[in-house]
Copies of this chain bind each other. A is one copy, B any other.
Amino acid sequence: MRAVVVKAGSVVVRERPDPVPGTGELLVGVRAAGVNAADLLQRAGLYPAPPGSPADIPGLELAGAVRAIGPGVERFVVGDRVMAVVGGGAQAELAVVHERTALPVPDALDLVEAGGFPEAFTVAHDALFTQCGLRPGERVLVNGAAGGVGIAGVQLALVAGATVVASVRAAHLREALEAFGAMAVDPADAAARGPYDVILEPIGAPNLKTNLDSLAIGGRLAIIGIGAGARGELDLLQLMSRRARIHGSTLRARPFEDKAGAARLVERQVLPLVAAHRVRVPVEEVFALDDVEAAYARFAAGGKLGKIVLDIAG
């Protein structure tokens, strides 16, 4: 198979042996794979793949068709359209996925959109509901709202009955976020629209003080990314007087059972919303496999609405 391979700080396309599905695993003919911040970190040598994932093939999410199944597979048959979060190895023509971490692709999504769905929606769903326990009527701030996780968070919070403020630096993206039903603001104006019961933070430490300043009593702050920095000052008195909490999480490092559990929640609670066209997967730009460096560069440039996706069989 052809695969994206990390090599001395860049990404190239190379031949690699076809993977073989083990017990409970699907061999997926990958049609599309989303680009994520983790891929760029892995390219820079800063974020090695977890054990059990291909060490040098990046890619955290994919969509495609089941090409073969290993022993004991019960949920899918050859030909089924599936999508999944994986620990790595998504950016290749073939990938192995355990069936309990795979999701069926609803008819409402084409496979390119589906390639940009699993990571963003699983992270956003996990942060908003599993960690922060979002309830209808609450006020939510989504920072970095035009990114993949941001748009997923905006849509999921809105459909759950929350009021959503979406902060994004690029002014030209605000209209699109307003079209989803959020109030879109410059990051500098986010605090004035608070206080917030839940804040989704994919950017990192530079936002920590503003986030804490604008948390409501009983507020929850979910840290899901630190691309702009990891270390910041925490005022514990402020945290106490707000009776607030701060969650940190990553999906990639979790054990199999946690990933499978998160996938089941998305299957039961998000896929019906996709099928009903109540949430969708905006794709900013699609790149062919051979243009993977350009895809990463586009991701890094920012100012995009939604996902950058590699169209691997396109």
Interface residues of A (CB under 8 A from B): 131, 204-205, 208, 223-224, 226, 230-250, 253-254
Contact A250 B241 (CB under 8 A): yes
Interface-centre pick from A208, A226, A234, A250 (highest chain B CB count, 10 A): A234
Q: Given A234-B208, A234-B231, A235-B231, A223–B246 Cβ distance below 8 Å?
A: no
Contact A231 B223 (CB under 8 A): no
Q: Which residues of B contact A250 (CB under 8 A)?
A: 240-241, 243
Contact B236 A204 (CB under 8 A): yes
Q: A246 touches which one: B231, B241, B245 (CB < 8 A)?
A: B245
Contact B230 A232 (CB under 8 A): no
With A226-B237, A238-B248, A240-B249 given, name 10 new contacts (CB 8 A). Answer: A208-B236, A226-B240, A230-B236, A231-B236, A232-B233, A232-B234, A239-B247, A244-B248, A245-B246, A245-B248
Contact B239 A223 (CB under 8 A): yes
Smallest beta-carbon distance A179→chain B, Å: 31
21 residue pairs bridging A and B, Cβ less than 8 Å apart: A204-B236, A205-B236, A208-B234, A223-B236, A223-B239, A226-B240, A230-B235, A230-B236, A230-B237, A231-B234, A231-B235, A232-B233, A232-B234, A233-B233, A234-B234, A236-B248, A239-B247, A240-B249, A243-B248, A243-B254, A245-B245
Provide the bound-state CA to CA distance between A241 and B47, in Å. 12
What number of copies of this chain does the assembly contain?
2
| Smallest CB gap from A244: residue in B | B248
Q: A233 touches which one: B223, B231, B239, B241 (CB < 8 A)?
A: B231
Q: Which residues of B contact A238 (CB under 8 A)?
A: 230, 248
Provide the bound-state CA to CA distance between A52 and B295, in Å. 61
Smallest beta-carbon distance A249→chain B, Å: 5
* Interface residues of A, dominant DSSP: mixed
Q: Which residues of B contact A208 (CB under 8 A)?
A: 234, 236
Contact B240 A223 (CB under 8 A): yes
User: What are the 10 closest A-B residue pairs judged by CB atoms, nearest first?
Assistant: A239-B248, A240-B248, A234-B234, A230-B237, A245-B247, A246-B246, A230-B236, A243-B249, A223-B236, A226-B236
| Smallest CB gap from A253: residue in B | B241
Provide the bound-state CA to CA distance between A254 and B248, in Å. 26
Q: A239 touches which one: B235, B243, B244, B246 (CB < 8 A)?
A: B246
Provide the bound-state CA to CA distance between A239 and B245, in Å. 12
| Smallest CB gap from A131: residue in B | B245
Provide the bound-state CA to CA distance between A17 and B253, in Å. 62
Q: Which residues of B contact A243 (CB under 8 A)?
A: 248-250, 253-254
Provide the bound-state CA to CA distance between A235 and B131, in Å. 19
